[in-house]
């Protein structure tokens, strides 16, 4: 287990972080839960591929975000939620990169190995857990991002199209 | 059951005079039954010793040793194919085959299976025995339970087995010469720089950890495999030949430790202590046998038996 | 002129479908256990997945080959024999084997099933290849990546079976099926367990100044500066010091990928029957881009047109690539 709060991740100004977290949690956490439940229902084979790592705890850290994501892909106790960067829960592995890099991975557009070799992706902790998660998610046809967007109907698909074209700024525009 | 000691083929490019002296001492002083001769690693080295080979063979036989000729592990070039064919066609000496091209040349005539041929299991050993193999050197990376099954299967087939119990592990071979590469050369213009490293060229990690040894196209372990503490288990499995790989230490002294260990003249701790004294500055390992990282040394105490 | 088959990797059923859709003539894959040389976590096929995948491929005119290419340790031979029986029952198009005991079993039990000799058998001369053809009826040999194109041609003329060569992807430096470097360091065997630098033993350590050390079982295999491309801690791609190289150097090979895009016509003329892409452990996005690029390239070559090399080269953009041993003996 990695200990909470890596030295270099706790640099966010605390008041901003708490505020951002509160807003993000209120808005995003229900969406994240819906996403992971849908993924779990549609692709049971993921859990089989994850093997012992269904119990592994992952932190996904998009560096431009004021918060990070916490994932445990355990069918008995699914967890996918936002957490403050300066108060990380116990976790087995941390995956860090720019939003665009992380998004491209779940949109099936990018090769994880290539992103890692080019230093766009940083992996800390249990490498076996990360490789297993990557391999499990890779056995899903099409795009996880598109699956997720479908959950939210036409607005979801519109947001996805914008993110694909312009990154995060696009999603914000679509949401407005 | 009778157990014998063997001296494996010299893996390094020792100067000719040194090889001659080495085998003279082995012939006169080492309590070993069988000596494997021949260049196994690099075909470019062979010409240096070819002229001395008949004399060395004669000397070893005079010392009461059985001589077995070993073939190359890696066979690509015409001269390598030719050398393998030649060794496998003669009937004056037993031959230990290290490349499948040798099996093809040998046909059904009796032969030994070398450690590079991956006789890892009973099905393969059975196939090989059916094709004329009389003796199999088991791969160094097999863990104890597999060694026991393999040796048992071989015995039922009426053939004998051998295992390396001393010396650097032969971890890998390649088509590329890493000795030449370290000196900014390639294999064809190597100028035999490997001659300078009589116990292999050390590779150290960038963090300063002694890690591997380079011997031409071969990569060896930094540690010496030492299965002194496992010897009783190995013999009880039915392995009947124990191979000592020549290293740059007093190999006669090393060879003398093992019979004393086998007949109870030395206990494991005393034998290991004696070997450590002969190999100062060298780390021992026995991890492959215990199915842990090969480089590890698992302490085995008197009375511990790996196999139930 | 032979029209060479394009042989593509699949680590998951999704990757297999991706490869078939992208124009693979055949896809190779393995079961989720030690019987294949990419026994990685989360990867490979169950019996059910293989059955469905074979049906998918066959409906689209593609073949499926099973990698059964590790060496069974004594006492565990059953697992390899069961894998062969299962794949044959599911309608596999060929079994890719390395071990003589496994080859003999398949030849005796399933004489009608096509056998390919894996690169893990390291058969690098005509006599060795003929041995496997004569005794086990091997129909195709996957050549080790150590031969020049000039050396492949006479081999092709001297053997009674087809030749498959790797054209793209990662490649180890050691004679395949004979490398115990990983076992020496981690306790898991490449030859017996199908594992090379297992992720369970890998960690990346951040060092001061933005450098990262890639470690295997606690040993530093390489260290990358803040601006350097990183690499996986594969022992034969690591950086070490030696008495004559005090500053650290790639003692075996730099972290490069094989790319023979420029050599496709030469290889076809040398008598190669099948081109293989490495990468069962890579993502389906890798599979999609590499397979479709080489599909187009091979079709161009067969139509007598020069292939668009630039597209293929860009597949390893940013990373180093090499023509390895295929170009010149000086590689050795």
Q: Which helix (H) or strand (E) holds C232?
A: none
| Residues A57 and A89 sit within 8 Å (Cβ to Cβ) | yes
Distance CA A106, CA A58 (A): 15
- CB A5, CB A88: distance < 8 Å: yes
pLDDT mean over C131-143:
98
- For residue C262, the model assigns a pLDDT of 86
Report B:1-60 residues touching C (Cβ under 8 A).
none
Contacts 24+ apart (CB under 8 A), C45-50: C45/C12, C45/C13, C46/A48, C47/C86, C47/C90, C49/C13, C50/C86, C50/C87, C50/C90, C50/C92
Strand (E) positions, chain C?
Answer: 5-9, 26-29, 63-68, 94-97, 114-117, 140-142, 162-170, 202-206, 212-216, 219-224, 239-242, 245-250, 256-259, 274-277, 320-322
Return the half-sphere exposure (C-beta side, CA atoms, 13 A cut-off) of residue C276. Answer: 26
DSSP structural state of residue C31: B
**pLDDT for A141 beyond 70:** yes
| Chain B nearest CA to C49, separation (Å) | 29
C205 in reach of chain B (CB within 8 A) = no
> Does the CB of A117 have a partner CB in chain C at under 8 Å?
yes
Query: What is the DSSP track for chain B?
Result: ---EEEEPPP-S---HHHHHHHHHHHHHH---SEEEES--S-GGGTHHHHTTHHHHHHHHHHTT-EEEEEPPS---SHHHHHHHHHHHH--SSEEEE-SHHHHHHHTTS-EEE-GGG---SHHHHHHHHHTTEEEEE--TT--HHHHHHHHHHHHHTT-EEEEEEEEEEEEEEBSS-HHHHHTT--GGG-TTGGGG-TT-EEEEETTS-EEEEEETTEEEEEEEEE-STTHHHHHHHT--EEEE---SS-HHHHHHHHHHHHTTSS-HHHHHHHHHHHTTT--EE-TTTTTS-TT------TT--S--
Residues near B267 by beta carbon (within 8 Å), at least 6 away in sequence = B261, B302
Query: Residue C286 and residue A49: Cβ atoms within 8 Å?
Result: no
Among the ranges given (A50-59, A113-122, B252-261), the one the predictor scored with the smallest mean pLDDT: A113-122
CB within 8 A of C61, min separation 6: which ones?
Answer: none
Distance CA A17, CA A25 (A): 11
Collect all residues of chain A within an 8 Å Cβ-Cβ radius of residue C228.
119
Nearest to C41 among A109, A135, A138 (CB): A135
Cα–Cα distances (Å) from B224 to A8, B72, B220, in that order, read 43, 22, 9
Q: Which of B96-105, B284-293, C87-96, C306-315 has the lowest mean pLDDT?
A: C306-315
Q: Which two tokens stand for residue C175?
A: 């004679």
Residues A74-79 have a mean pLDDT of 91
Pairing outcome for strands B111-113 and B133-137: parallel
* DSSP code, position C235: G
**CATH number for the domain formed by residue range(s) C5-172+256-331:** 3.20.20.70
pLDDT value for B115: 98
Question: What was the pLDDT predicted at A24?
Answer: 75
Contact A140 C14 (CB under 8 A): yes
- Crossing angle (nearest 10°) for helices A153-166 and A144-151: 140
C199 touches chain A (CB under 8 A): yes
pLDDT at C120: 97
Binding residues of B for [4Fe-4S] cluster: 42, 177, 190, 194
Instruction: Fold for B4-168+222-285, please state it.
Output: TIM Barrel (3.20.20)
- How many Å apart are CA A133 and CA B101, to the nearest integer? 43
For CATH 3.30.1050.10, list the domain ranges present in chain A.
7-141
Integer-rounded Cα Rg, in Å, for chain B is: 18
For testing contact with chain C, the best of A131, A134, A147 (most C CBs within 10 A): A131
- Partner C contacted by A41 (CB < 8 A): no
Confirm or reject contact between C325 and chain B (CB < 8 A): yes
- For residue A6, is pLDDT > 50? no
Query: Is C230 near chain A, with CB under 8 Å?
Result: yes
pLDDT band at C330 (very low <50, low <70, confident <90, very high): confident
Map tokens 């213009």 to a residue. Answer: B189
Distance from CA of B301 to the nearest CA of C (A): 21
pLDDT of residue C206: 87
Q: Give pLDDT tens digits along chain B (308 positions).
A: 589 999 999 999 999 999 999 999 999 999 999 999 999 999 999 999 999 999 999 999 999 999 999 999 999 999 999 999 999 999 999 999 999 999 999 999 999 999 999 999 999 999 999 999 999 999 999 999 999 999 999 999 999 999 999 999 999 999 999 999 999 998 888 889 999 999 999 999 999 999 999 999 999 999 999 999 999 999 999 999 999 999 999 999 999 999 999 999 999 999 999 999 999 999 999 999 999 999 999 998 766 655 54
CA dist., res. B246 & res. B30, Å (int): 12
Tokens matching residue C156: 């092709």
Residues in C touching B126 (Cβ below 8 Å): 101
Cα–Cα dist A31/B264, whole Å = 73
| Cβ pair A139:C15 closer than 8 A | yes
Assess whether chains A and B touch, using the rule of 3 or more C-beta pairs within 8 angstroms: no
Closest residue, chain C, to A7 (C-alpha) = C206
Alpha carbon of C227: minimum distance to chain A alpha carbons (Å) = 8
User: Confidence class of residue C316 from pLDDT cuts 50, 70 and 90?
Assistant: low
- CA dist B215 and B42 (Å) reads 9
Given an 8 Å threshold on Cβ–Cβ distance, is C43 in contact with A135?
Answer: yes
H helix count then E strand count, chain A: 8, 5
Long-range contacts of B97-100 (CB under 8 A, 24+ apart): B97/B71, B98/B40, B98/B70, B98/B71, B98/B72, B98/B73, B99/B71, B99/B72, B99/B73, B99/B74, B99/B75, B99/C125, B99/C128, B100/C121, B100/C123, B100/C127, B100/C128, B100/C131, B100/C132
How many angstroms separate the CA of residue C280 from the nearest CA in chain A? 10
Would you list the domain boundaries of chain C?
A: 5-172+256-331, 181-250
How close does chain C come to A56, measured CA to CA in Å? Answer: 13
Interface test with C, best of B127, B137, B225 (most C CBs within 10 A): B127
- Of the pLDDT bands very low, low, confident and very high (cuts 50, 70, 90), residue A21 is confident
Q: CA angle, C96 as apex, C92 and C99 as ends, to 5°? A: 130
Q: Which chains are adjacent to chain B, needing at least 3 Cβ pairs under 8 Å?
A: C
CB contact under 8 A, A123 and C319: no
* Contact: A117, C203; criterion CB under 8 Å: no
Q: Is the pLDDT of residue A174 over 60?
A: no
Average of per-residue pLDDT values in chain C: 93
pLDDT in tens, C240-270: 999 999 999 999 988 788 888 889 999 999 9
Q: Which CATH number fits domain A7-141: 1.20.1260.10, 3.30.1050.10, 3.30.420.80, 1.10.150.120?
A: 3.30.1050.10
Taking an 8 Å cut-off on Cβ atoms, the answer to whether C282 and A111 are in contact is yes
How far does C239 lie from chain A, in Å, by closest CA?
A: 16
Question: B115 in contact with C at a CB cutoff of 8 Å?
Answer: no
Q: Name the residue among A48, A131, A140 with its Cβ closest to that of C199.
A: A131
Interface of B with C in 82-101 (CB under 8 A): 84-85, 99-101
pLDDT digits (tens, 9 = 90+) for C181-221: 999 999 999 999 999 999 999 999 988 888 999 999 999 99
Shortest distance, CA B260 to any CA of chain C (angstroms): 29
CB C38 within 8 A of CB C67: yes
Domains of chain B by residue range:
4-168+222-285
Q: Does A155 touch chain C (CB under 8 A)?
A: no
C204, C224, C286 ranked by CB distance to A123: nearest: C204
What are C142's strand-pairing partners?
A: C164
Q: Does residue A10 have a pLDDT over 60?
A: no
Secondary structure (DSSP) of A42-80: H-THHHHHHGGGGG-EEEEEETTSSEEEEEE--TTS-EE
**With an 8 Å Cβ cutoff, are B120 and C99 in contact?**
yes
Answer yes or no: do A128 and C41 touch at CB < 8 A: yes
* CB of C105 closer than 8 Å to CB of C98: no
pLDDT of residue A160: 87
ipTM for this prediction: 0.97
Put simply, whether B141 touches C (Cβ < 8 Å) is yes
Which residue does chain C place closest to B116, by CA atoms?
Answer: C178
Contacts of B287 in chain C (CB under 8 A): 184, 187
């Amino acid at each position: 287990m990695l200990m909470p709060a890596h030295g270099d991740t706790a640099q966010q100004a605390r008041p901003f972080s708490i505020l951002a977290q509160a807003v993000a949690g209120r808005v995003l956490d229900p969406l994240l839960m819906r996403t992971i439940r849908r993924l779990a229902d549609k692709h049971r084979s993921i859990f089989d591929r994850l093997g012992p790592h269904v119990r592994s705890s992952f932190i996904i850290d998009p560096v431009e975000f004021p918060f990070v994501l916490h994932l445990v892909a355990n069918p008995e106790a699914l967890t996918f939620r936002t957490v403050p960067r300066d108060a990380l829960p116990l976790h087995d592995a941390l995956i860090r990169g720019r939003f665009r890099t992380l998004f491209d991975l779940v949109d099936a557009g990018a090769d994880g190995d290539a992103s890692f070799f080019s230093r766009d992706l940083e992996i800390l902790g249990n490498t076996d857990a990360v490789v297993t998660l990557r391999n499990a998610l890779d056995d899903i046809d099409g795009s996880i991002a598109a699956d997720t967007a479908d959950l939210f109907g036409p607005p979801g698909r519109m947001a996805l199209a914008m993110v694909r074209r312009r990154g995060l700024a696009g999603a914000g525009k679509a949401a407005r | 059951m009778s157990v014998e000691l063997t001296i494996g083929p010299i893996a390094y490019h020792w100067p000719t005079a040194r090889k001659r002296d080495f085998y003279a001492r082995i012939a006169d002083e080492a309590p070993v039954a069988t000596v494997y001769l021949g260049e196994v690693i690099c075909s470019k080295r062979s010409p240096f010793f070819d002229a001395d080979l008949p004399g060395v063979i004669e000397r070893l036989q005079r010392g009461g040793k059985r001589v077995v000729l070993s073939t190359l592990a890696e066979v690509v070039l015409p001269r390598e194919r030719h050398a393998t064919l030649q060794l496998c066609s003669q009937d004056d000496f037993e031959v230990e085959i290290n490349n499948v091209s040798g099996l093809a040349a040998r046909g059904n005539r009796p032969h030994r299976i070398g450690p590079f041929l991956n006789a890892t299991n009973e099905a393969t050993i059975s196939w090989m025995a059916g094709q004329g193999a009389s003796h199999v050197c088991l791969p160094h990376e097999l863990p104890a339970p597999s060694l026991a099954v393999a040796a048992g299967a071989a015995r039922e087939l009426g053939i004998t087995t051998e295992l390396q119990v001393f010396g650097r592990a032969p971890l890998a071979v390649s088509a590329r010469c890493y000795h030449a590469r370290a000196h900014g050369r390639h294999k064809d213009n190597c100028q035999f720089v490997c001659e300078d490293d009589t116990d292999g060229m050390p590779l150290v990690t960038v963090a300063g950890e002694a890690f591997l040894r380079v011997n031409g196209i071969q990569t060896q372990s930094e540690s010496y495999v030492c299965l002194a503490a496992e010897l009783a288990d190995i013999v009880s499995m039915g392995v009947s030949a124990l191979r000592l790989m020549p290293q740059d230490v007093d190999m006669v002294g090393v060879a003398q430790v093992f019979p004393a260990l086998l007949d109870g003249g030395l206990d494991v701790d005393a034998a290991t202590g004696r070997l450590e004294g002969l190999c100062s500055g060298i780390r021992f390992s026995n991890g492959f046998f215990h199915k842990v990282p090969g480089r590890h040394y698992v302490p085995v105490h008197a009375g511990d038996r790996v196999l139930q | 002129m032979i029209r060479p088959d394009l042989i593509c990797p699949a680590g998951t059923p999704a990757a297999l479908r991706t490869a078939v859709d992208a124009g693979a003539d055949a896809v190779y894959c393995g079961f989720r256990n030690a019987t294949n040389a990419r026994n990685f976590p989360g990867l490979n096929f169950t019996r059910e997945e293989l059955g469905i995948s074979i049906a998918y491929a066959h409906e689209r005119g593609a073949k499926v080959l099973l990698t059964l290419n590790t060496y069974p340790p004594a006492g565990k031979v059953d697992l390899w024999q069961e894998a062969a029986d299962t794949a044959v029952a599911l309608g596999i198009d060929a079994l890719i084997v390395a071990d003589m005991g496994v080859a003999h079993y398949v030849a005796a039990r399933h004489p009608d099933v096509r056998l390919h000799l894996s690169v893990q058998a390291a058969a690098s001369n005509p006599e060795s290849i003929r041995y496997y053809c004569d005794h086990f009826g091997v129909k195709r040999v996957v050549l080790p990546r150590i031969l020049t194109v000039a050396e492949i041609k006479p081999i092709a003329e001297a053997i009674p079976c087809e030749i498959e060569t790797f054209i793209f992807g990662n490649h180890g430096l050691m004679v395949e099926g004979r490398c115990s470097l990983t076992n020496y360091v981690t306790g898991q065997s490449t030859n017996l367990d199908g594992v090379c630098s297992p992720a369970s033993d890998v960690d990346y350590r951040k060092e001061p100044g933005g450098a990262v050390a890639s470690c295997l079982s606690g040993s530093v295999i390489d260290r990358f500066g803040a601006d350097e491309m990183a690499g996986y801690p594969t022992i034969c791609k690591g950086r070490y010091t030696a008495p004559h190289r005090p500053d650290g150097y790639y003692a075996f090979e730099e972290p490069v990928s094989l790319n023979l895009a420029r050599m496709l016509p030469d290889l076809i003329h040398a008598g190669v029957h099948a081109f293989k892409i490495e990468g069962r452990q890579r993502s389906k996005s890798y599979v999609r881009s590499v397979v479709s690029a080489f599909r187009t390239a091979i079709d161009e070559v067969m139509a007598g047109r020069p292939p668009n090399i630039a597209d293929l080269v860009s597949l390893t953009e940013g990373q180093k690539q090499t023509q390895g041993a295929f170009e010149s003996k000086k590689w050795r």
